Amino acid sequence: MTQLPSDPIYERLQNLRVCLAAHVRLSPQTYRGERWYVLADEARSRFMRIDSRAYSAIGRFNGRTTLNDVLNLVQRTDSSFSDQEMAGLVLQLANFDALRDPLPDDVRALTDNGKSALGKNLINPLALRFRLLDPDQFLDIAMPWVQPLFSRPAALFWILSLLVAAFMGVTQLNTLAAAINSSLLAPSNLALGLVIFAVMKVLHEFAHAFAVKRWGGEVHEMGISFLVLMPIPYVDASASWVFRNKYRRALVGAVGIFVELWIAAVALIVFFVVEPGMVRSAALTAFLVGGVSTLFINGNPLLRFDGYYVLQDLAELPNLSSRASRYIVYLMKRYLLGIDSAQSPVTATGERKWLLGYGISAAIYRLFILVGIGLFLASKYLAVGVVLVTWVVGLQIVLPLCRAGWFIIRDKQISGRRSSVIARAIALPAIVIALLAYVPVNRTTSVEGVVWLPEQAQLYAKSTGTIDKVLVTEGQHIDVGTPILQLVNADLEPRKRVLEARLGELDVRHQTNLFGNRSAADVTKEERKSVVAQLNMINEKISALTVKSQHAGKVAFDYHRIVEGNHINLGDLIAYTIVPSDYIVRSVVRQRDIGRVRGGVNKIEVLLAENLGRRLPATILRETPSGDTQLPSRALARAGGGTIDTDPGDRASLQSSRQVFNIDLALEHQTLAGGLGGRAHVRFTHSPEPLLSQWHERLRQLLLRHLSV
């Protein structure tokens, strides 16, 4: 017995007799043991994947049987196939121009054909696309010349180039970082960068096209797409969808990445071997374009670019993005709104985890990337950045919420219990918001530090000189006042003799004038005081040439500095006198976190690198009232394995790019650390605060950092 249709669109379609167009053919493929089909429109070089459930209906589209009869036939073997799915399938085929006869005018408006190309593009800020030409004839002519690049020797050469570039980059990382920091946004490099970007992207897209031709496909579309307002070329390589071998399909998607990585590798090699100039600047720009854009955009499977299609084919997950979105919607309908009739897009074992993980990760990453680009643009061009961020928030958050609300209000699936569904849709988000707004959650600040010594254990030079002799050995236990270093300064003794002679002369003159000229005697007396002060200062410097310990303990030198014959300046750090019980932890707090730390700390825990499994309680000894850019140890810089960004021009990696604050901590239970300078992980625990309040502060700091508002 035929059931009355529940979908208003299906009511208009149910008596139609549809048939696939003659230019459309179906090719079977197997994913995870399940049969899928590629619908190929060879006349327009367009392709679409459908699953076996959709094929069970399409296979009965013969132009004689009504859609209602087809639905009844399908439901005999698959009772879950709904009239909504049938309506959606027909509209999808009509939008694909896969039907022999057009739909009625009142139904045609419901397909995407009723939308303008501009309207379609505005839905996705990552997919503005405009077709320009058909490159297939050119590809046929050039293919014999390109064919050798699809060979094992070419692959080995590609791998060797990347290895050489990686070795040079790692061994000269500071030089590379300094160059990037100084020229990344230099106005003189922008025009050059745009030209290199355009050339590399053209080569990238032609690589896709030649890979399709290599295995018998055709490429009939090439044009311009816009990635966050940046024009880049594209080719339609969807002909590879009909390839039976999944590795060939994956290679078509990956070959553009391979080309850009090879260009980036060669550019990096050129950057290190040529002298500064135009060629070196061009090489650095090519490296950044080929490396950064590949890692974060083209090669990232969370965005629907090359990396996505490679993952889709290798993991055998057809239509991954759309099915992941549908699976998230299914979970919300099934478990949030309680719609038992909701249909899962899962078709094979093991897909649930993939669809759930990808759906959530891709949505978050896409939002993160777009907002990040928007904030970057806003820091340079405020109006453009604000428009982009508003656009992203509207499309990624507001529009889905509006669609969800429209579904709850209008959809007939919940017509019998709409009130309870609306109540649940309101109550659950309200509960979540209330929890976020009012339930306090532990708040922590995590920073890094180093095992350090108090100031009295650090011995600094009080005079300038050259090391004549080291009087103690490394690790020797010394007492207070023990001489440890002898310096020499050839200028001090002659200056002392000159001052002593001058002092004697002034004494004689003072005695002569004392009885004959009192005013001259007073002048001589003041001049004598000045010479005595200078002589005392010289004597102090001569005395300080013998460097003595001010603290008992084991002596530790800086091996690179404390070598006989080396020059020592006033104020240079010479040695440490180490007593393990005197160890402290010097933590480095970023400027964005110092206000929270100063606002109140309930507990401090330290994890030493030598024993990360043990949390050591600590207390604050002292903190610097003002910020500084000098790091206590290279271990805290990224170049030394830490998390602090440093000035690329500082080869020692001790100057941070932003101000930091030093906070010295005392361990409550003194523990022998692995050694001076060892890394420590510090966690400050603050008073609990609701998550919404914490997120608000983070957002405010983000805006302050990028927009200065």
Confidence (pLDDT) at 270: 92
464-493 burial by CB neighbour count: b if 16+ within 10 A, else e?
A: bbebeebbbeeeeebeeebebbebebeebe
User: In the 3-class helix/strand/coil scheme, how is 475-507 assigned residue by residue?
Assistant: CCEECCCCEEEEEECCCHHHHHHHHHHHHHHHH
Lowest mean per-residue pLDDT among 169-183, 340-354, 601-615: 169-183
> Does residue 343 carry a pLDDT above 50?
yes
Mean pLDDT of the chain: 80
Lowest mean per-residue pLDDT among 162-171, 230-239, 670-679: 670-679
> Does residue 659 carry a pLDDT above 70?
yes
Look up tokens 């050129």; give the residue. 270
Q: What is the amino acid identity at position 701?
A: Q
Mean pLDDT for the stretch of residues 541-545: 83
- Provide, rounded to the nearest whole percent, the portion of the chain with pLDDT above 90: 8
Confidence (pLDDT) at 44: 65
Between the ranges 97-111, 502-516, 611-625, where is the mean pLDDT highest? 611-625
What is the tens place of the pLDDT at every residue in 428-473? 888 989 998 899 888 888 888 888 877 767 778 888 888 888 888 8
Rounded to whole angstroms, the Cα distance separating 337 from 339 reads 6
Higher pLDDT pick, 34 / 514: 34
Confidence (pLDDT) at 118: 44
Mean pLDDT for the stretch of residues 506-513: 77
Mean pLDDT for the stretch of residues 6-18: 77
Lowest mean per-residue pLDDT among 110-124, 528-542, 579-593, 695-709: 110-124
- Nearest in space to 485 (alpha carbons), one of 508, 497, 509, 468: 468
Mean pLDDT for the stretch of residues 618-643: 81
Confidence (pLDDT) at 251: 92
> Does residue 245 carry a pLDDT above 60?
yes
Q: CA 265, 271, 273, 279: dihedral to nearest 10 degrees? A: 120
Residues whose CB is less than 8 angstroms from the CB of residue 336 and which lie 6 or more positions away in sequence, other chains included: 424, 425, 428
R_g over Cα of the chain: 37
Rounded to whole angstroms, the Cα distance separating 7 from 3 reads 12
Rounded to whole angstroms, the Cα distance separating 139 from 207 reads 10
CB 208 within 8 A of CB 215: no
Element (H, E) at 435: helix 418-438
> Does residue 666 carry a pLDDT above 70?
yes
- 631 backbone dihedrals φ, ψ, rounded to 5°: -90, 145
CB 680 within 8 A of CB 608: yes
Q: Residue 263 — pLDDT band, cuts 50, 70, 90?
A: very high
- Nearest in space to 666 (alpha carbons), one of 457, 453, 459, 455: 453
What is the tens place of the pLDDT at every residue in 23-68? 788 888 777 777 888 887 766 667 788 888 888 888 888 888 888 8
Confidence (pLDDT) at 612: 77
> Does residue 364 carry a pLDDT above 90?
no
Give 623's strand partners. Answer: 663
Confidence (pLDDT) at 113: 44
Q: Residue 558 — pLDDT band, cuts 50, 70, 90?
A: low
Higher pLDDT pick, 328 / 407: 328
Q: Residue 2 — pLDDT band, cuts 50, 70, 90?
A: very low
Distances (CA, A) of 201 to 192, 230, 309, 567: 14, 12, 18, 54
Burial label for 6, CB within 10 Å (0-12, 13-18, 19+), is middle
Lowest mean per-residue pLDDT among 11-15, 262-266, 276-280, 369-373: 369-373
Look up tokens 């391979």; give the residue. 258
Mean pLDDT for the stretch of residues 652-668: 82
Confidence (pLDDT) at 658: 82
Mean pLDDT for the stretch of residues 643-669: 78
> Does residue 10 carry a pLDDT above 70?
yes
Between the ranges 8-17, 95-104, 163-172, 230-239, where is the mean pLDDT highest? 163-172
Mean pLDDT for the stretch of residues 470-479: 81
Give SS3 for 424: helix
What is the tens place of the pLDDT at every residue in 106-148? 666 555 444 444 444 444 554 567 788 888 889 989 999 998 9
Distances (CA, A) of 168 to 174, 183, 266, 270, 313: 11, 20, 11, 11, 34
Confidence (pLDDT) at 415: 67
Confidence (pLDDT) at 112: 46
Mean pLDDT for the stretch of residues 310-337: 86
Q: Residue 162 — pLDDT band, cuts 50, 70, 90?
A: very high
Between the ranges 158-167, 368-377, 435-444, 557-566, where is the mean pLDDT highest? 158-167
Q: Residue 80 — pLDDT band, cuts 50, 70, 90?
A: confident
Mean pLDDT for the stretch of residues 407-430: 77
Confidence (pLDDT) at 259: 92
Q: What is the DSSP string of 50-119?
A: EEHHHHHHHTT-BSSS-HHHHHHHHHHH-TT--HHHHHHHHHHHHHTT-BSSPPPHHHHTTSGGGS-HHH
